[in-house]
Amino acid sequence: MRTVHDNPNIRIFTEGDIERITNNYSTLIGKGGFGEIFRGVLDDEDDMVAVKRYIRGDLRDEFMEEVRIHAQVTHKNIVKVIGYCIGKKSLMMVTEFISNGNLEYALHNSGISIPLGTRLGIAIGCVEALSYMHSMHLSSGNLICHGDIKPANILLDGTLTAKVADFGLSKSLSGGITRYTENVKGSIDYMDPIYLSAGCVTRKSDIYSFGVVMLELISRKRVKEKGGINLIAAFNQAYANGKGFRGLLDTEIANECNMKILEGIGKLAVECVAIDANKRPNANDVEKRLLMLWAAQHGKEENIIRRLYRRSPPEIISSSSSNKIGNARIFREGELKKVTENYSSQLATGSFYNIYKGTLEDNTLIAVKKYFDRYEAGKEEFCSRVAMVIMSPVVHKNITKLLGICLEANPPTLVYEYATRNLSNILHCKEDFPLELRMKIASKTSRALEHLHSSRIALRHGDVMPSNILLDDGFVPKVTAFTLSTRFTEDNATRMSMVKGDGNYMDLYYRHTNLVLLKSDVYSFGVVLLELITRKQPAGDCPEKYGLVSEFARAYKMNKSGKAMFDEGIATEENIPVLEEIGKLALHCINLKLSKWPTMKEVAERLKKIRSEGNDEQRWAIDNNSKIRSFTEHDIERITSNYSTPIGKGGFGEVFKGFLDDDDYDDAVAVKRYIRSELREEFMEEVSIHSKIDHKNVVKLVGCSAGENTLTMVTEFISNRNLEDALHKSDISISLNTRLGIAIGLICHGDIKPANILLDANLTAKVSDFGISKSLSGGITRWTSNVKGSIAYMDPIYYREGRVTSKSDVYSFGAVLLELIARKSMKEGGISCEAFRQACAKGKGLRELLDIEIAEECNMNILEEIAKLATKCMIVDNIKKRPQMNDVAEHLRTWIFQVRNGGHEKTAWGLTSIIHDAVKKSAGIFSLSNPKKQNFGIFRSNDVRIFTKEDLSGITNNSSHLLGKSTFCNVYKGILDDNTLVAVKTYSECSCDENLRNSISTSITIMSKIAHRYIIKLLGHCSDADHLPILIYEYAAKGSLNDILYSKEDLPLELRLKIAVKTAEALEFLHSSASCVIRHGNIKPSNILLDSNLMPKVAGFTSSRRIAENNNDQVASMEFTHIHYMDPIHIQSGHFTVKNDVYSFGVVLFELISRKKPVYHCHDKNRRLIPEFIRAYETAKSGKAMFDEGIMAEEDIAVLEEIGRLAMECVSLEIDGRPTMKEVAERLKMIRRMKESSAMGAARC
């Protein structure tokens, strides 16, 4: 591919590179006339970038021009171009990522406070970029202008420093200062009228556009707003009439003390937008006048004037001009006092210096390193080193940038780019510090040192230690502190007059000989590596004898491992191999034999390899997790009928509907296919987190496939699509009651938004898509440079800094709350948090923001409270002010109680006594442990919720919907606060028996500790001293097996077999624990419930018993089992074993194939089912006479006979002759496959 520029630092990417960098264009951050802009991460650098993709491939000429110009422009206030891609189908440019969006958003959409000083700084930064552009010459000798200056093209970094972007309309003014074109393009509101009418573009065209930007900066109004004023005309008129100026200004800054400054800016802006281009000032003049205004605002006119008029004209400034030494700007002491506010904000202190925070005129944050006047020792040598650092051409993204120097001080004062913290700060604090981040810091620091060592004139740093490794907002390291550095023309030694530096990081050779080697940095870096993996300080005056270095070396010598020394916060089983490799590398670096030390290049390569292998270790999440099934690519194609039914699409992949057609799971499922197999790391993370979650409001993970070509995840299918569709793409009625229920059902996730909130048939929320979820291991914060998600719902702190906490979800949840009450899309700009915040603060205007369906007078108090809560969730300036998710849930529960009880004030649903409730898990709902699992089930901790009788009255609407009744109890239908349907089982007062109470108590204990897809889930209970406990179960929509077995409904053999197989699996699970077997004790059709998909759910645990290990034969005090299903051996002896369940299940099998009850009426006689089956098999060697005629197709007789024979074995009076439930389940699966084969054979015939 040919290059279109002469800059060797600009990279050329392939289309595949770009797709990988952007995760297949998953995060759109902007859109314009020429193309779309996506956020991405350079996978080999971990740096965030912006990728501009041209929409049309035929814009190749415009693209070439933009690349050619942008590649030659280098300035601190111009977005840096990193590379580009010229592909067959697309054209793309990669630039640095600027975190705070653009000026248009900050001024007109954000609502943030922007003081006058900051606005002036933005203007100065922008005009300094223009002044630089207008004064430079391209490699061709031509001048340039930008051509599209507007707020949307002025980006803002974390300190609101301006960065000019988008050179798509930039012009090379070849042969002069004017260029004519017939192809006029740009934003008409900011376009020079001369350019618009005549196609004549000059540098003064940029000045006109910048003048409009200045007007917007001081007015905070768009140049032309719908139904509003024309800003340019209004300011011209105000200056012409001498009145009305103040009324045009933003009230935030239009105070009396600012008026002179504002008048100066306004006057300058009006001159810039003059119709006569000759009357417009040039960029250099605009810069000077803005600097004077900034100085006036800060009370330092005289100092700025001296500085300005000492400068050479911008047209002839070069690297040798008098205001710079090398690339470092020369400051006066007075200037530094002003920018640091007289050195008022101290960042750090050392033995010979203090470091202060400062802010330059364009809002750039700086660190000013000022040495003490008393530092006399070696001052001459020190100054020569400073000069060497300044003049040495050391430029690397992981080396802190020297911005300037003040020579009035002796030693000189140094001005660096600002960094928020250093490695020592986070190494030796209590904040979470994941291994991934430690490895990133180590890898990038090693690259910086490699760069120093490999330059033409090699540079030994001389002071490598954690406090000299600074970290920016994205936790990217920047090596600093070069005052002990030494130049090497070749790899030889230099003798120092005295040993300098921290002894803990100093190599033995240097300490004893005063000889400095290039490899001295390798030793120091080895100590840093030890600190990173141990989180211990290298204390000790003689590290080779005691301290961290010697302790670590001793550990490896004695145990061949550093495991005893590793930081417990990262020493998980899967991390140990990675930590061992880093430990071995560190030992090579600190080896006492000089010849054994690796070079920094070798160290960097080793770390890169270790880091890459560490990512591969995540495969354990799939390989070793028995909770989820592993599918092949062929399985997935079969399940989805070759991906025939798409039901959704997102940034990570596509979602298809499918059906599992096997013994273990034959429900509808959703299959998420990752678009690119290169997203393996994201896939592993999602599987790892999702597989550890078991909650009724979280979509259930069934399995996954990690094939060579595709990555797919299989989850349960949720019928009602997602909340985004329900709110914004349908017209279904959704009451406030239902909306509050949806909100309560939600839950660190990382990407809470309506599209990731699925709704079942009851509009119960199910959180899905854990593609960017984070495991906050060891703490409450996690940092990442790979920021992903939907910007409209994304916590700005996560967006800017890559810092994700449980409070990140709180912000996103606040956005969803606003959408729920407004029924307008946050993503499409239909609503804003600021509008709700102002409406709540002013006490008016809220109703207009709400969805009219719920904005009734009786709801307004609650809706106002919801709005206030949502805006509190979305606080940006102080994350600590956001509420915790359990506090949010408590408020929501209170309000839903009020809504469902006619606005009466009540304590929220059992909030005074909730134990292990799902709400408690809202901020971290997921127990990221790896509980024991067998056959789709786990033994779980007690997370059953405790209700009050008052709660249950509301849940059941005063017991108004009876589902069923028996001798001892009634069962009522109810609805929880998150719209979950439940069944509430209440025992009658007359049944209050101590034995029954004990049995119910045992069943609560058992059910609270088990979870299986075919066992009914106990959601809660209510204990009352005077009565028996009330139990709350998940709701089974189709009643019980007894209901459909003895109805007139069609009940095909396939469905009967499915119910039998799943029920057998549930009983197998209960019987299979090695330490505590559970015997159900009451298996019968009325205790086999059926959900909406006719999936069985085993219930009725009041006769259940736990059987201790090696004691499978115990005596029961009393049983509550129906006599017809009770094992005769148990009746006779009172002993219970798991084989009692086998007998009861055998009876159920007989009922399934005969559709007759255990005692049924035939030929005017009561007959008993089991003896009749026994008689049939003894006399005719067949159960055909007993089979249900509705399923006696010729091809099914053999299947029915097999089930009958299995049932006969189950009801054998020889208890040892009965099969185990595991054997029963396997036999039934085999019979089911036999049935499927016979059906296919019949179909072929």
- What amino acid occupies position 991? S
- Name the least confident of 56-70, 112-126, 920-934, 1134-1148: 920-934
- Whether 1093 contacts 1048, CB under 8 Å: no
The class that CATH gives domain 99-316 is mainly alpha
- Whether 1098 contacts 1066, CB under 8 Å: yes
pLDDT tens figures, 39-86: 888 865 567 889 988 876 566 777 777 788 788 888 888 998 899 988
Judge if 421-616 and 625-717 fold alike in CATH terms: no
pLDDT tens figures, 391-422: 444 678 888 888 888 878 777 888 988 888 89
Q: Distance (Å, rounded) from C-alpha 913 to C-alpha 35? A: 56
Q: Residue 129 half-sphere exposure, CB side, CA atoms within 13 Å?
A: 29
Kindly state which CATH superfamily the domain 720-908 is placed in: Transferase(Phosphotransferase) domain 1 (1.10.510.10)
Give me the residue spans of the domains in the chain.
1-97, 99-316, 324-417, 421-616, 625-717, 720-908, 933-1034, 1041-1241
Token pair 């009561």: residue:
1166
pLDDT tens figures, 192-216: 877 766 567 788 989 999 999 999 9
Question: What was the pLDDT predicted at 57?
Answer: 59
Residue 52 assigned to a binding site:
yes
In the set 17, 46, 47, 148, the catalytic residue is 148
3-state per-residue secondary structure call for 980-993 = CEEEEEEECHHHCC
**224 three-state secondary structure:** strand
Kindly state which CATH superfamily the domain 625-717 is placed in: Phosphorylase Kinase; domain 1 (3.30.200.20)
Pick 262 or 482 by higher pLDDT. Answer: 262
Pick 761 or 1149 by higher pLDDT. Answer: 1149
Question: What was the pLDDT predicted at 1088?
Answer: 95
In this predicted structure, the answer to whether residue 481 has a pLDDT above a threshold of 90 is: no
In this predicted structure, the answer to whether residue 313 has a pLDDT above a threshold of 50 is: no
Q: Which long-range contacts (CB under 8 A, 24 or more apart) does 653-660 make?
A: 653/679, 653/711, 657/717, 658/714, 660/702, 660/714
Q: What does DSSP say about strands 937-939 and 1027-1034: parallel, antiparallel, or unpaired? A: unpaired
The percentage of the chain sitting over the pLDDT mark of 90, rounded to a whole number, equals 24
pLDDT tens figures, 850-881: 989 888 888 898 999 999 999 998 888 778 88
- Name the least confident of 305-319, 451-465, 610-624, 1151-1165: 305-319
Integer CA distances (angstroms), 211 to 32, 270, 345, 535, 778, in order: 22, 7, 35, 54, 52
pLDDT tens figures, 246-278: 999 999 899 888 899 999 999 999 999 998 888
Q: Distance (Å, rounded) from C-alpha 938 to C-alpha 816? A: 32
Q: What is the mean pLDDT of the chain?
A: 78
Residue 1084 assigned to a binding site:
no
Question: What was the pLDDT predicted at 923?
Answer: 33
- CA proximity to 293, closest of 114, 103, 117, 107: 117
Q: What's phi and psi for 1080, nearest 5 deg?
A: -70, -55
pLDDT tens figures, 504-531: 887 776 676 767 788 889 999 999 999 9
Question: What was the pLDDT predicted at 158?
Answer: 75
pLDDT tens figures, 704-747: 888 766 788 898 888 776 777 777 777 778 777 777 766 665 54
In this predicted structure, the answer to whether residue 915 has a pLDDT above a threshold of 50 is: no
Question: What was the pLDDT predicted at 56?
Answer: 64
DSSP 605: H
In this predicted structure, the answer to whether residue 1096 has a pLDDT above a threshold of 70 is: yes
Q: Which CATH code of 1.10.150.530, 3.40.50.300, 2.60.40.10, 3.30.200.20 fits the domain covering 324-417? A: 3.30.200.20
Tell me the whole-structure pTM to 2 decimals.
0.48
- 609 contact partners, CB below 8 Å, separation of at least 6: none
44 is catalytic: no
| The token pair that represents 122 in the structure block | 């933005």
- Whether 797 contacts 748, CB under 8 Å: no
Kindly state which CATH superfamily the domain 1041-1241 is placed in: Transferase(Phosphotransferase) domain 1 (1.10.510.10)
Q: Distance (Å, rounded) from C-alpha 288 to C-alpha 309? A: 10
CATH architecture of 421-616: Orthogonal Bundle (1.10)
Fold of 933-1034: Phosphorylase Kinase; domain 1 (3.30.200)
The answer, yes or no, to whether the previous bond of 754 is cis (omega within 30 of 0) is no
The CATH number of the structural domain formed by 1-97 is 3.30.200.20
- 878 contact partners, CB below 8 Å, separation of at least 6: none
Question: What was the pLDDT predicted at 904?
Answer: 42
